[in-house]
Chains A and B, each alone.
Chain A
Amino acid sequence: MTQIDWSKPRLLARGIRKQYDERLILGGVDLEVYPGQIVALIGSSGSGKSTLLRCLNLIEEINDGQIWLEGEDISAPEVDQDRIRQEIGLVFQSFNLFAHLSILDNITLALRHVQGKSKDEAEKIALQWLGRIGLADKASSYPDKLSGGQQQRTAIVRAVALNPKLLLLDEVTSALDPELVGEVLELIKDLKQTGTTIVMATHELSFARDVADWVIFLDKGVVAEEGEASEFFANPKQDRTKEFLTRLKAH
């Protein structure tokens, strides 16, 4: 396992606020993510997990607060957002692979047209990744011919192939059949081994306990409790946290 560098955070967020019209989604969230760390965001539906991830990737505009990536204020108005988005990968619950492109082309698209790599170079990188997740033989298949688990693993690889500074995973197993969840979680474990820095929103509590270094419990758009994963699950302090954990364990 890689050692975490505590000297300076990879990502720092302060007072992130987001509202749609009158509805408050995030009411001032603080977040620190250190290189090589895996942070798990937990909380019930509508607690603001997905919105927070989208704000960090700059897909959603924040209404207040500031975000720094390796010390650079990426929430500043003059920042080139397209450049930041390729540094921060985002994987969706519903995969969102490009339906008109083969698996290989899905991965090479941004390598070629965002990072400006040659076709050969991009395909080499893509095939390496596909080999690593055991999908090399599917390179020329189209997304609709793959299982949900295979599609989601491709979507994760599409994001990490760009070598982002931070990977955001938005409930990547929620749309999968139970028997396919395992293969996706395996891939995330594998990425942790190689030092990828990850923030993941998840409902898989046991997985969060196994893999995450830090757990943040969001409730009604604010951080209700956070702590080291083992400590967080063993001794939750807030009543809200205890209630949430028992409710999920009951299932």
Chain B
Amino acid sequence: MSNTSNQYQPSEAELTRRAFKAQRKRKSTLVAFASTLLFAAVVAIGLVSTPGWSRVTESFFNIEVGIDAFPRIIEGIWLNLRVLFFTTISVVICGLLLALMRTLRNPVFFPLRIFAHGYVDFFRGLPLIIVLYIVGFGIPGLRLEWLGRVPVEVLGTVALTLTYSAYVSEVFRAGIESIHPSQRLAARSLGLSYSKTMRLVVLPQAVRRVAPPLMNDFVALQKDVGLISVLGAIDAVRGAQIEVAKYANFTPYVLSGLIFVLLAIPTVRFTDRISAKLAKREQSGSAL
């Protein structure tokens, strides 16, 4: 009788419950499978039997045109990725600086605070396409001697940074303000200065908390880098446009669009995973 807990046997009631649950699970899987199959069949038959279907496939899913356009689009995507890389870095830096400027309390920094506030209001309201036109065509139009000829992809990076920094700074600021004042109080009571409190206590917690919305902005940026094509940069969108004009066929647009989607999927999944992980950590210890 000493180790009854080791010889634990589930009761009759529990065994019945388990059998019932297992059966129900098998049944749901089967139903889901059958209904998916039926749905797919209806869609496929419906699409293919539509009168204009052959013209649709010819115009949007032409394999030969796709293969011909592929190299130029891939080359363009490579440019998009490089612009994305540099824009992301500069957006994180500028966004963080703007957010920190807005949290400064010292009267010396009053002009900085006002500047950051005005900047964020302005660039969140201004359409990105107008920023792109003004930076991309306006700055070279000034013919500044000392600036020389700036590549359009650099101008595009600057324009994207101007707009996205405003959004991202608001995300950072929300994160900073969401950290309970008692954390700041505890840090200051240990003798940490304002800036060390910010860097060692507030920001690490704030960034973790806003990681999901930050990643969301990153996904948006990932496709908005395609907008640099309006400046004449031969990116994936512009490359596709050239191919479309050449073949009078829309397959290159569809292809480059699909590549953007494929690039976004890992980021989206990654964002979901971070959110789930954070949620799990915050609920640690509770049953639900």
Number of B residues contacting the other chain (C-beta, 8 Å)?
A: 19
Q: Given the complex, which residues of A lie within 8 Å of B205, measured CB to CB?
A: 98-100
Nearest CB of chain B from residue A157's CB, rounded to whole Å: 12
SS class, residues of chain B in contact with chain A: helix
Interface pair A99/B190, CB less than 8 Å apart:
no
A to B contact number (C-beta, < 8 Å): 66
Residues of A within 8 A of B200 (CB): 109, 113
A100-B204, A100-B205, A144-B284 in contact; A59/B189 too (CB < 8 A)? Answer: yes
Is B21 located at the chain interface by the 8 A CB criterion?
A: no
Q: Determine if A59 and B204 form an interchain contact, defined as CB atoms under 8 angstroms apart.
A: no
Shortest distance in angstroms between B152's beta carbon and chain A's nearest beta carbon? 42
A158 and B185 form a contact (CB under 8 A): no
Q: Which of the 9-residue segments A9-17, A26-34, A79-87, A239-247 touches chain B? A: A79-87
Cα A99 to Cα B180 in complex, Å, equals 11
Contact B192 A82 (CB under 8 A): yes
**Among residues 60 to 86 in chain A, which have CB atoms less than 8 Å away from a CB atom of chain B?**
82-86
| A128 CA to B187 CA, complexed, in Å | 22
Whether A57 pairs with B189 at a CB distance below 8 angstroms is yes
Q: Using Cβ atoms and an 8 Å threshold, which residues of chain B touch A113?
A: 192, 196, 200
Contact residue among B182, B192, B193 (Cβ-Cβ distance under 8 Å from A92): B182
Residue pair B189, A90 in contact (C-beta under 8 Å):
yes
Across-interface contacts of B186 in A (CB, < 8 A) = 92, 96-98, 155
A-B contact pairs, 24 of them (CB 8 A): A84-B191, A85-B189, A85-B191, A89-B189, A92-B186, A94-B182, A96-B185, A96-B186, A98-B186, A98-B201, A99-B205, A100-B204, A100-B205, A109-B187, A109-B192, A110-B190, A110-B192, A113-B192, A113-B196, A114-B192, A144-B284, A145-B285, A155-B186, A159-B189
Q: A85-B190, A99-B205 are in contact. List 11 more A-B contacts (CB 8 A).
A: A59-B185, A59-B188, A82-B188, A85-B191, A92-B189, A110-B190, A113-B196, A145-B284, A145-B285, A159-B190, A162-B190
